[in-house]
Amino acid sequence: MLGPEVRWLPSSRCAAGRCVSPTCFGAIFACRDGSACSDTSSPCCRSQRMTTPERTRNDTLRNALVDFLGEARVGEDAHLDGVLVASVRSVSDVEGVLAVARQMRIPVRPRAAGLDSLNLTAPPSGGILLDLRGMNRILEVNHSERYALIEPGVTWRQLYKRLAEEGGDLALPTAATPRGLSVWASTFLDGSADASLVQGALPEKVWGVEAILSSGEAVRTGSGAMSSGWWGRGPLPDLSGLFIGWQGATGIVTRLSVSLRPRLKHVRRLLFPASSRRAAIAAAIRLAREGLCDEAAVLPWTLLRRVFSVEGALVRQPGEPEAYLHVDWSAETLPELEYKRLRLGQNLVRAARRGGSFDEPVDLVALAGLTPALKRLRDLPLRLPLGGAGLEAAAAVACYGPISRLVDGADVLDEAAAAHGVGAAVVIRPMRGAHHGMLHAVLGGYQTGEPEAVHGATARALERLMGLGFVPHRFPTELSRLVFSHLHPGTQRLALRLRRLLDPQGVLDPVPWGLPAPL
């Protein structure tokens, strides 16, 4: 047994014990024997849910928050019924809101710089939305140890500007999110960024955090737990993972340290049309393993159609590339830059010998400077129009997985889309020196009335990708049952224990990975 029985926070739309809310990851339930179960019809499953507070915006809760924060910082969200928004500006504000939540047993969810892309920050009716946008100070930019210590409300745009003002010798990754989104939100939801071959995904750039537990206790992880500097995660026990990827369910992060990299003087960005996607993937992996590039990604053949707004059926024409190989590399000196260019060419020749060919590249930096309409090319391969012309009712799918199965994984996405009569646009990226890779796809119907076909294609693709060893990172929340059924049962039980340990009263409401709150 895991201890006291587990109960569930209410979802905005539940029927027969099944969570169907788009704002809830709830899919896995705790059973009498302490295990996790995705089958609510099972006799061992507790179907009793915690009842919603009788009055969602009662005067008692509002008055308690107003007494602590002031009238101006307590309000409502026009898009969230029955939710009070508490705007905080300091650690003491966070501690005060959590104290009110503990006393009244009210669920709390954090938000910074708007809703995240998965819409996970909407609390249930009667809950508190902890608005962290007011905690937006850049506490330190350390040029010698190359890190920035920031509060959760700091946006990418704000940090880019600060680095430019301080001389531009340090660079921040370009995240695959709008620049108005907070660094904390995209980092702690396992987001991706450029230079993935060198630095990996965004969570790998976190050196440590300060967090407030539901009890009000402040904790620190990484070197900042012992040192005055926030320059690394070791050699202490790596406790930062208790907060990364948990969507606020284990503690409210009030500061985080993110690593920075030196800004090199010379940068090249080229786009090679490829007659074979398989050859382009092989070339990207080889470039990644040789350490020649900051980024090597294989982009869909529909890319330039969207960039230049080409209309027409989503049928590849004779002579049209099957894919595009996008390559970024940088150097401090021109001879070093030229050496990398020569090695790049040699690798493409080897890849072509194995099947496929590469046409003369497009210089993305030069092309992006021709007209404002082409500025979007500067953000490849992160912010790009993935779908082809006319794709509607789209669903995004992203998975991390074995580098040896990237070709198979991309084929699975295409086959699943074709089987359901919808379109697919797939981006393939080696990560972290090609130790693993990432697939990011948009599956979409050709008409707005095809959501069922898109859903079927997405479910089929996810099932087969997990069979190949991929771990889903982004997927429609209604498919959470399918995804979480593949999670090791021991891992499910451990996650439940950690939640109970860090949040015994169930104040921190998010339902990460479908795990229920321990109320």
Compute CA distances 383 → 193, 367, 379, 415, whole Å.
10, 16, 5, 25
Condensed to tens digits (0 to 9), the pLDDT of residues 507-516 reads 886 655 555 5
Looking at this protein, which amino acid is placed at residue 321?
Answer: P
Please compute the mean of the pLDDT values over residues 175-191 and round it to a whole number: 78
The pLDDT assigned to 447 comes to 54
Retrieve residue 193's tokens: 């960024």
Please compute the mean of the pLDDT values over residues 24-38 and round it to a whole number: 33
Please compute the mean of the pLDDT values over residues 272-297 and round it to a whole number: 88
Q: Computed from CA positions of residues 458, 461, 467, 471, in that sequence, does the dihedral angle turn out positive or negative?
A: negative
Among 30-44, 256-270, 305-319, which range has the highest average pLDDT? 256-270
Condensed to tens digits (0 to 9), the pLDDT of residues 233-282 reads 988 899 999 998 887 889 999 999 999 988 888 888 888 999 889 989 98
Check: CB of residue 381 under 8 Å from CB of residue 299.
yes
The pLDDT assigned to 140 comes to 95
Asked if the model's pLDDT at residue 496 lies above 90, the reply is no
The pLDDT assigned to 32 comes to 30
When the pLDDT of each residue in the chain is averaged and rounded to a whole number, the result is 77
Task: Reply yes or no: is the peptide bond before residue 430 cis, omega within 30 of 0.
Answer: no
Condensed to tens digits (0 to 9), the pLDDT of residues 77-125 reads 777 777 889 999 999 999 999 999 998 888 888 888 754 444 445 555 5
Alpha helices by DSSP H, 222-330 = 277-290, 303-307
- Nearest alpha carbon to residue 245 among 200, 199, 204, 207: 204
Looking at this protein, which amino acid is placed at residue 223?
Answer: S
What domains can be seen in the chain, in order of their start residue?
Answer: 14-48+489-514 (no CATH), 59-131 (3.30.43.10), 138-262 (3.30.465.10), 266-379 (3.30.70.2190), 391-486 (3.30.70.260)
Q: What angle do CA 46, 48, 53 make, to 5 degrees?
A: 150
In the chain, how many H helices and how many E strands? 13, 23
Among 50-59, 76-85, 354-363, which range has the highest average pLDDT? 354-363
Q: What is the DSSP letter of 326?
A: E
Lowest pLDDT segment from 135-144, 247-256, 472-481: 472-481
Q: What is the three-class DSSP state of 182?
A: strand
Condensed to tens digits (0 to 9), the pLDDT of residues 426-456 reads 889 998 888 899 998 888 765 545 778 888 8
Q: What is the three-class DSSP state of 149?
A: strand
Q: What is the DSSP letter of 422?
A: -
